[in-house]
Amino acid sequence: MQKKTANITVNPRPFAYRHRTLYCDGVDLTTLAAEHGTPLYVYSAAQITERFQLFQRAFTHEVRPHTICYAVKANSSLAILRLLATQGAGFDIVSGGELERVRKAHKPALKKVVFSGVGKQLWEIDAALDADILLFNVESEAELHLLATRAEARSKVARFALRVNPDVFAETHPYISTGLSEHKFGIDIKSARAIYRAAKKSKWLDPTGVSVHIGSQIRKVDPFAAALTRVTSLIADLRKDGHNIRYVDAGGGLGIDYGAGAFDPAKQVEKYAAALSKGLANEPAHLLLEPGRFIVAQAGALLTRVLYVKRNGSKTFVITDAAMNDLIRPALYHAHHEIIPVREPAKQSAKQTAGKSSSLVVDVVGPVCESGDFFARDRALPAFKPNDLVVLLDAGAYGMSQTSNYNTRPRPAEVLIEGKSARLIRRRETMRDLLAPELNGINH
């Protein structure tokens, strides 16, 4: 299914059946499973590029200077970072490790990095200062003091924005809501003006911007407008105090539709751009945006194979070779992912449909030794059998980046689809990889 705008054609997902077999763009997923094994993360380069360009076009249309700083935490693959950097992306990072990933992916992009996060360590601040990043999003007075101290020690001026907390409610999962006064993120917006005044006294600090981020997977755009209305009011006060505010960082958080219903990403970005413009009004500062999930989530999927189908009492379990260590979102957030077979089920005749359903109500689970290791519960799905290939859709964001080696399980491989070709961008971990860091007196 495709949605068209005047400027670009966008597929909500790059996964579609051809000749009853599921493809990602021009590549057959059965071929990928045979070549690379399962579990396997599969991403569409075309979809990632299209989603990024949606933001570029929307804010160009709004005639507003802007930089799209992709949120690295959503998916930190070097190949994906490099792909986005070549499109002109900046990057939103939350750790020194993510800074190093940007450096390795595309060193010139360091100039367009914003560094967020409540717990920046000394070595991370030093590395970011040495890289001459665009902006530190500072989240506490203690962090600002440390930033000034480290900037002085390295004879560098640190550009910063306070991440203010506007106390705006965003309807999302409580674990990914960040804009209320009770959350650990940001600084009370009512305290910000005094902190900027104090910072102005240091020659090692440059109060360059104001930052806000109210949460993730937000589907309604009104909270974004409300947050920016409060931020622009603060910026007006800061300018009265003599601060040269050049950047306003609106954060990220625009949500997608994880379900099977119709979803128009282009229209959603247009509504988002209009809401931000409403909140900014006539504010001329350079706009920084930090989308992550919206760019990569629907571009990726987790390909897995059915190991067993079993019944326990009234329950039927479909056990796959992927587990919660490969995709933790369902276990962590009770998140929904559509699950579809790689081999398209045959269409039933009206007579067959009247006779019985071809679907079963099942739990889809993994091999990990936890009852919380599930991908779906009590869901009507096609009748799977052992060795069937199935796909968990919309897994491009917070899939691979949240994987672990729980139960001493190697993490999956990753493949990037570029038209009709597939490129391995991360090999599957081996047992040697897992055990290599451990020091236990055994000679290797």
Domain boundaries, the chain: 45-293
**How confident is the model at residue 261, as a pLDDT?**
81
Helical packing angle, 141-153 and 192-199, nearest 10°:
20
Find, among 184, 188, 182, 183, the residue nearest to 166 by Cα.
188
Query: What is the arithmetic mean of pLDDT over 261-289?
Result: 93
The CATH homologous superfamily of the domain defined by 45-293: Alanine racemase (3.20.20.10)
Which of 1-5, 108-112, 164-168, 440-444 has the weakest average pLDDT? 1-5
Residue 79's pLDDT band, with cuts at 50, 70 and 90, is: very high
Please check the confidence at residue 184 and state whether its pLDDT lies above 80: no
**CA 227/CA 212 separation, integer angstroms:** 7
Query: What is the arithmetic mean of pLDDT over 190-199?
Result: 95
pLDDT, one tens digit per residue, over 348-378 is 655 555 545 578 999 999 999 999 999 999 9
Task: Label residue 390 exposed, middle or buried (CB < 10 Å: 0-12, 13-18, 19+).
Answer: buried
Angle subtended at Cα 317 by Cα 314 and Cα 320, rounded to the nearest 5 degrees: 180
Residue 4's pLDDT band, with cuts at 50, 70 and 90, is: very low
Residue 32's pLDDT band, with cuts at 50, 70 and 90, is: very high
What is the DSSP pairing of strand 90-93 with strand 66-71?
Answer: parallel
Please check the confidence at residue 100 and state whether its pLDDT lies above 90: yes
Query: What is the arithmetic mean of pLDDT over 88-116?
Result: 98
Query: What is the arithmetic mean of pLDDT over 191-201?
Result: 95
Which of 102-111, 173-182, 192-201, 252-261 has the weakest average pLDDT? 173-182
**CA 294/CA 47 separation, integer angstroms:** 11
pLDDT, one tens digit per residue, over 121-151 is 999 999 999 999 999 999 999 999 999 999 9
Residue 77's pLDDT band, with cuts at 50, 70 and 90, is: very high
Please check the confidence at residue 177 and state whether its pLDDT lies above 70: no
Query: Helices marked H in 9-135 — which ranges?
Result: 29-36, 45-61, 78-86, 96-105, 122-131
* Beta bridge partners of residue 10, listed in sequence order: 3
Find, among 8, 7, 6, 10, the residue nearest to 263 by Cα.
10
Which of 254-263, 324-333, 408-417 has the weakest average pLDDT? 254-263
Q: Are 177 and 168 in contact (CB under 8 A)?
A: no
**How confident is the model at residue 172, as a pLDDT?**
46
Please check the confidence at residue 73 and state whether its pLDDT lies above 70: yes
**How confident is the model at residue 7, as a pLDDT?**
43
Query: Helices marked H in 281-388 — which ranges?
Result: 293-296, 329-333, 350-355
**How confident is the model at residue 219, as a pLDDT?**
84
Residue 9's pLDDT band, with cuts at 50, 70 and 90, is: very low
Please check the confidence at residue 1 and state whether its pLDDT lies above 50: no
- Does the active-site annotation cover 369? yes
The pLDDT mean for the chain works out to 91
Given the residues 6, 369, 431, 442, the one annotated as active site: 369
**How confident is the model at residue 176, as a pLDDT?**
40
Please check the confidence at residue 93 and state whether its pLDDT lies above 60: yes
